[in-house]
Structure 1
Amino acid sequence: MHVEDGWDTTVGVAKLFWGVTESRHLVDIINQTDLLEEIDQEQKLGQPMINLNLTRDYGTFSLFVLPYFREQRYENRQGRLRFALPIDTDQAHYDSARGARHTDVAVRWYHNQGNWDIGLAHFRGTSREAAFDFDLNNPAEPTLVPRYDMINQTGLEIQYTADAWLLKLETITRAGHGDRFTAVTTGVEYTLFDIMKSGADLGLISEYNYDGRDVNPTVAPPVPYDSDLFFALRLSMNDTHSSSVLAGILQDMAGGATFVNVEASRRFAQDWTVELQGRFFMDAAPDDFVFYGYHQDSYAQLRL
């Protein structure tokens, strides 16, 4: 990284985050999602890049040149959590003749003005999400083959802060996966500060997800967010142990599936942290391409 007055540049591998909503990060497109680590799309792979940022009074302008693409990683036949059909990543193919070597480009403007945080970005290049072709060479054991299409995506993120309220919006429009489609995640977060003078804060989150893409996984990458409601509680104890709890429920209004997620952590001693995580998948229909693959994979785990 090199920093000067009014501009900076980065050459190398980096992780960035764009977005404001909790249940889904629509506009966060630079880095590949690491589905082997977590299915919540929070874990990312580093992205090789050349990045230039120009900082002005009216916002920060960013240019990204991305010379190499990293494919999504999936669980194998014995792994959890996995799709209903096995995925053959060895046969993955690309819309671009240059494959993973295609140079992708993104530009972004971001500005914080008073109570407003606004970001506007455009990406042109290899989709970070894979669509799937069916390999029926062995009819007794069909497999899915990832296909990475070329896309153009424009994304907008807005957050407005009003005392204890956060009003949030992320929306994209994308071309390259069948017909151009729009997706939206929007909602509110309200924080109760210093509950009963305990020092703890409780955040109440409500969001709605809509995605207008083609539901055929051979046309567009499958997602569970076609029309979903999300509710969550975020408790921060603000103590010396960094104790916190996040519990949320995602309800598919179209297909009926329910996903419950619980995360809690607390540090003890000086170098130890105990973490509790539970993920529960319920009422997924056989035609639910994403959640039905997980319908027997609910779990809870405790780790240090």
Structure 2
Amino acid sequence: MFKSLKLLGLVACVAGVGMPGQAEELSFSGELSLTARYYEDDGLFFGQPSSGTSYIPEGRFGFRTDLGFAEAEFEVYGRADSRTGSELVDIQKAYLLTGGDRWSVLVGSDIVFWGVAESYNPVNIINQNDNFGRFDETRKLGQPMVNVNFESGALGTFSFYGLFGFREPDLGTTSSRPRFIVVPDDDVAIFEKSSDKIDFAFRNTNTVGIGNGSLDYAVSYFNGTDRTPVFLPGCANRRFPVSVPTCNAVNRSILASYAGLRPGSQLPLAGQVFLNAPLPTQLFLLSGASVGAVPYYQEIEQVGVELAYATGNWVWKFEGAQRFAQNEDYFLGVAGVEYRFNQAFGTPGALTLAAEYTYDDRSNLQPFTVFDDDVFVSARYDFNNRLMSSITLSGLFDMGNGGDVYMLDISSRLTDSTQISFSATQVDFGGFFDPLSLLTRDDYYELKLTYFF
């Protein structure tokens, strides 16, 4: 289970001694953490662990140095899970950065964040999702890229991205918690174009004064492979006597069936694909032999807008994206507000209240989402003390299906180099067709100790 962290240690050692000529300018940092995650209930699906505790060691190591002609930064992250056996080593940053007064060029791997909302960020599409332990798309993997930035003055900053090599996400195994009903087969993933094609993105950001406040805005465009797949029924987890040519032929037929679908049907996607498939493909699916979930990555275009208007203690936010996909065009967005009470309750601390509405009009032909018609509320109290202590209570309430998610997060420094945090998540699903029903037995409590260096 500690193979990932052993490799991380080796990489960190190499990074620390790899450039002796620049040692006096080398800045090294990192963190090590151990998480104990306790699940109240046995897993809902076959193969998932029973109730109990998982131990998750994590490590992050990095360095930064000035090479004269450019700045270099490297950061690697690793993780292992004691119960499921899942492991990850990801080079999240490995780039050279150079530039002048009004321009910069980054070449290498990096993580880029877009968005202003608290609940989730529909425009944040540069990096692939790290789906470990959650469906909220907050964890990301490093993305190889060339990023060119120009500062224009009154018109803000213009950023251009060339993204090289698509990174398939880890879609989990039968033991993963949480997971989908049917575990997708990574080995038979299908791409509308190629996983090696170059994706392109653009973003313009700026800040302007309006009235008694300031508006931060961003307009963005993305053209490339969707980071989240559509799961199609097809030939997956191939077993004898199904041959590779047969499996490939079935999946080509399934893809043609999917391409002919249009929004409007209330049937699940698998049912629509089945009914639109030719008879031989239908018979294969009915046989159950080597039938499973096939990840399909389609090409999309996305136009995004981010707005954050701050005036006094208020911040008004909007974040939205229009996506143009193979079978349909759809909108996803978040709108909300937050208010900050300074010296709340007569203390040095600050209380921040936030409320957001999330909307998504995609049909069931598109990738799965839980943020389709929901209200998100949160209350965060920052103690504003030397230990950087905070408490956050939040909830996500589904207006359509009646499902709810409740979250509690508490964190505090123990010393300048150590932090302890506690989090809890509880899911109440609204019925069989509620997407949150996948998580009905995945309530958990988590205690994490982190050491920074």
Instruction: Compute the TM-score of the two structures, normalised by the length of structure 2.
Output: 0.64
Matched residue, 2:33: none
Q: Which has the higher mean CA deviation after the structures are superposed, 133-142 or 269-278?
A: 133-142
Q: For 1:138 and 1:13, how far apart are their aligned partners in 2? A: 44
Deviations 1:94-117 (A, max 9, x none): 111x2x211100011110113000
Residue of structure 2 aligned with 1:273, choices 404, 419, 431: 419
Q: Does 1:82 align with 2:179?
A: yes
Matched residue, 2:350: 201
Matched residue, 1:295: 440
Q: Which structure has the highest strand share of the two?
A: 1
SS of structure 2 residue aligned to 1:196? helix
Q: Which structure has the highest helix share of the two?
A: 2
1:260/1:279 contact within 8 Å kept: yes
Residue of structure 2 aligned with 1:94, choices 191, 210, 216: 191
Matched residue, 2:233: 134
**Counterpart amino acid of residue 101 in structure 1:** D
Q: Does 1:73 align with 2:170?
A: yes
Q: For 1:91 and 1:280, how far apart are their aligned partners in 2? A: 34
Greater Cα radius of gyration, structure 1 or 2: 2
2:133/2:178 contact within 8 Å kept: no
Deviations 1:58-107 (A, max 9, x none): 200010000111112222111211112222122211111x2x21110001
Q: Does 1:190 align with 2:339?
A: yes
Instruction: Compute the TM-score of the two structures, normalised by the length of structure 1.
Output: 0.94
Aligned length: 298
Q: For 1:251 and 1:245, how far apart are their aligned partners in 2? A: 20
Residue of structure 1 aligned with 2:318, choices 169, 176, 182: 169
Deviations 1:135-181 (A, max 9, x none): 34873885322111000000000000011000000011111152111
Q: For 2:219 and 2:351, how far apart are their aligned partners in 1? A: 30
Residues 1-304 of structure 1 mapped to structure 2, 5 A cutoff: 1-36=97-132, 38-57=134-153, 58-96=155-193, 98=194, 100-114=195-209, 115-135=214-234, 136=285, 139=288, 143-214=292-363, 216=364, 219-288=365-434, 290-304=435-449
**Counterpart amino acid of residue 168 in structure 2:** E
1:25/1:170 contact within 8 Å kept: yes
SS of structure 1 residue aligned to 2:438? helix
SS of structure 1 residue aligned to 2:328? strand
Q: CA deviation at 1:196?
A: 3.2
Q: For 2:217 and 2:301, how far apart are their aligned partners in 1? A: 20
Q: For 2:134 and 2:148, how far apart are their aligned partners in 1? A: 30
User: Gaps spanning 5+ residues in structure 1: where?
Assistant: none
Q: For 1:55 and 1:199, how far apart are their aligned partners in 2? A: 38
Q: For 1:79 and 1:28, how far apart are their aligned partners in 2? A: 25
Q: For 2:388 and 2:291, how far apart are their aligned partners in 1? A: 47
Q: For 1:295 and 1:60, how far apart are their aligned partners in 2? A: 44
Matched residue, 2:25: none
Q: CA deviation at 1:287?
A: 1.9
Q: CA deviation at 1:39?
A: 3.0
Q: For 1:209 and 1:9, how far apart are their aligned partners in 2? A: 35
Q: For 1:220 and 1:274, how far apart are their aligned partners in 2? A: 39
**Counterpart amino acid of residue 59 in structure 1:** G
RMSD, aligned CA: 1.6
In structure 2, relative to structure 1, the CA distance for the partners of 1:270 and 1:66 (3 Å cut) is same
Q: For 1:245 and 1:137, how far apart are their aligned partners in 2? A: 51
1:264/1:275 contact within 8 Å kept: yes
Matched residue, 2:261: none
